[in-house]
Amino acid sequence: MDFEGRQFCPQCMRILAPDGNCPVCRTFPVALPDQLESGTLLRGKYLIAGLIARGKTSLTYSGWDEGNAQSIAIREFFPRGLASRDVQLSDTLTVKDEDAPVFAKAYTAFAAWQSHLCRMQHLPILDCFPENATHYIVIPFLRSPAFAAWKAENDRQESSSMV
């Protein structure tokens, strides 16, 4: 992902090395055919970098908040088996007519839950909003201490095996 002339890793949102590799996570996510494309702009300010997780009811992306100049994670309501999207045509979700009642009930529950989370003052939630016939929640991109410890150990093992 390119932002202000710098390339960011779509997985961990760290600045890429000049050769295009991520010096931190060294992973390149596999694109799903119905995920939002890297570079998609949501709500006019949230830039999608890449997919970092897929659950039963949602897709989670790494991204960039252009207004606050910070790394973010964006969770999109996208229930497996009920919704689809053809990103070549549109970013909007489509639902089969026979699945519409179940989707509507799940969407209402998901949106209500996210709205409740947004109102809670002690959670680091930046935004909740509907767009593309679905719902999104935006939080700061938090780097896990467990990942950092794993990465440090993995780097030590890799370095010692090269000697």
The pLDDT tens digits of the residues spanning 59-96 come to 999 899 999 988 899 999 999 889 999 888 899 999 99
Closest residue by Cα to residue 70 from 52, 36, 47:
47
Radius of gyration for the alpha carbons in the chain, expressed in angstroms and rounded: 18
Can you give the CATH number for the domain in which 82 is found? 3.30.200.20
- Is residue 7 included in any domain, yes or no? yes
Q: Is residue 25 part of a domain?
A: yes
The span from the CA of 37 to the CA of 49, in Å, is 8
163 lies in some domain: no
- Residues 57-89 as b or e (16 or more Cβ within 10 Å = b): bbbbbbbbbeeeeebbbbbbbbbeebbebeeee
At 145 the pLDDT is 58
Domain that residue 143 falls in: 2-154
Residue 160 lies in a domain: no
Residue 83, domain member (yes or no): yes
* Structural domain count, the chain: 1
Kindly report whether the global pTM for this prediction surpasses the value 0.85.
no
